[in-house]
Amino acid sequence: MIFSSSLLRAQDQLPDVSLQDVNGEKVELASLTQNGKITVISFWATWCSPCKKELANIASLYDDWKEQYNVQIVAISIDDARN
Protein backbone atom coordinates (compact mmCIF):
# COMPACT_ATOMS: atom_id res chain seq x y z
CA MET A 1 0.00 0.00 0.00
CA ILE A 2 1.21 3.50 -0.73
CA PHE A 3 -0.12 6.48 1.19
CA SER A 4 0.61 10.17 1.19
CA SER A 5 -1.31 12.35 3.61
CA SER A 6 -1.69 15.04 0.95
CA LEU A 7 -3.33 12.56 -1.45
CA LEU A 8 -5.74 10.87 0.95
CA ARG A 9 -9.39 11.78 1.09
CA ALA A 10 -11.33 11.48 4.35
CA GLN A 11 -12.76 8.09 3.39
CA ASP A 12 -9.27 6.83 2.49
CA GLN A 13 -7.69 7.43 5.89
CA LEU A 14 -5.85 4.57 7.51
CA PRO A 15 -7.75 2.80 10.28
CA ASP A 16 -7.11 3.70 13.89
CA VAL A 17 -4.93 0.67 14.67
CA SER A 18 -2.17 0.38 17.25
CA LEU A 19 0.89 -1.75 16.49
CA GLN A 20 4.13 -2.48 18.30
CA ASP A 21 7.47 -1.47 16.84
CA VAL A 22 10.61 -3.61 17.14
CA ASN A 23 11.26 -2.06 20.55
CA GLY A 24 7.79 -2.97 21.84
CA GLU A 25 6.60 0.65 21.70
CA LYS A 26 3.02 1.41 20.68
CA VAL A 27 2.64 3.08 17.25
CA GLU A 28 -0.61 4.37 15.76
CA LEU A 29 -0.74 3.26 12.11
CA ALA A 30 -2.43 6.46 10.95
CA SER A 31 0.32 8.57 12.52
CA LEU A 32 2.85 7.11 10.08
CA THR A 33 1.42 9.16 7.22
CA GLN A 34 1.22 12.51 9.01
CA ASN A 35 4.71 13.71 8.07
CA GLY A 36 4.03 14.68 4.45
CA LYS A 37 6.07 11.81 3.01
CA ILE A 38 4.87 9.18 0.59
CA THR A 39 4.56 6.07 2.74
CA VAL A 40 4.88 2.53 1.40
CA ILE A 41 3.41 0.04 3.87
CA SER A 42 4.47 -3.56 3.33
CA PHE A 43 2.83 -6.38 5.28
CA TRP A 44 5.16 -9.37 5.29
CA ALA A 45 6.11 -12.58 7.10
CA THR A 46 9.36 -14.47 7.48
CA TRP A 47 7.81 -17.57 5.88
CA CYS A 48 6.63 -15.63 2.79
CA SER A 49 9.20 -15.86 -0.02
CA PRO A 50 7.44 -13.30 -2.26
CA CYS A 51 7.28 -10.89 0.69
CA LYS A 52 11.01 -11.19 1.31
CA LYS A 53 11.75 -10.67 -2.40
CA GLU A 54 9.53 -7.59 -2.42
CA LEU A 55 11.35 -6.10 0.58
CA ALA A 56 14.74 -6.86 -0.98
CA ASN A 57 13.66 -5.08 -4.18
CA ILE A 58 12.33 -2.11 -2.22
CA ALA A 59 15.57 -1.97 -0.23
CA SER A 60 17.59 -1.77 -3.44
CA LEU A 61 15.55 1.25 -4.57
CA TYR A 62 14.96 2.92 -1.22
CA ASP A 63 17.88 5.37 -1.22
CA ASP A 64 16.88 6.71 -4.64
CA TRP A 65 13.17 6.86 -3.74
CA LYS A 66 13.95 8.61 -0.46
CA GLU A 67 16.02 11.27 -2.20
CA GLN A 68 13.85 11.76 -5.31
CA TYR A 69 10.35 11.30 -3.91
CA ASN A 70 10.61 11.77 -0.12
CA VAL A 71 9.46 8.18 0.47
CA GLN A 72 9.44 6.25 3.72
CA ILE A 73 8.99 2.48 4.02
CA VAL A 74 7.04 0.85 6.83
CA ALA A 75 7.40 -2.95 6.93
CA ILE A 76 4.88 -4.68 9.22
CA SER A 77 5.55 -8.30 10.07
CA ILE A 78 2.50 -10.50 10.52
CA ASP A 79 4.53 -13.26 12.22
CA ASP A 80 3.32 -14.24 15.65
CA ALA A 81 5.34 -13.76 18.82
CA ARG A 82 6.83 -17.26 18.59
CA ASN A 83 8.64 -16.24 15.40
**Residue in 42, 80, 46 with CA at minimum distance from that of residue 59:** 42
**CB distance 30 to 16 below 8 Å:** yes
How many Cα atoms occupy the beta-carbon half-sphere of 41 within 13 Å?
13
State residue 26's pLDDT score: 93
Task: Give the model confidence (pLDDT) of 33-51 as tens digits.
Answer: 878 888 888 999 999 999 9
State residue 82's pLDDT score: 61
Task: Give the model confidence (pLDDT) of 42-79 as tens digits.
Answer: 999 999 999 999 999 999 999 999 999 999 998 998 88
Could you tell me the pLDDT band of residue 12, with boundaries at 50, 70 and 90?
low
Q: What is the reported pTM?
A: 0.70
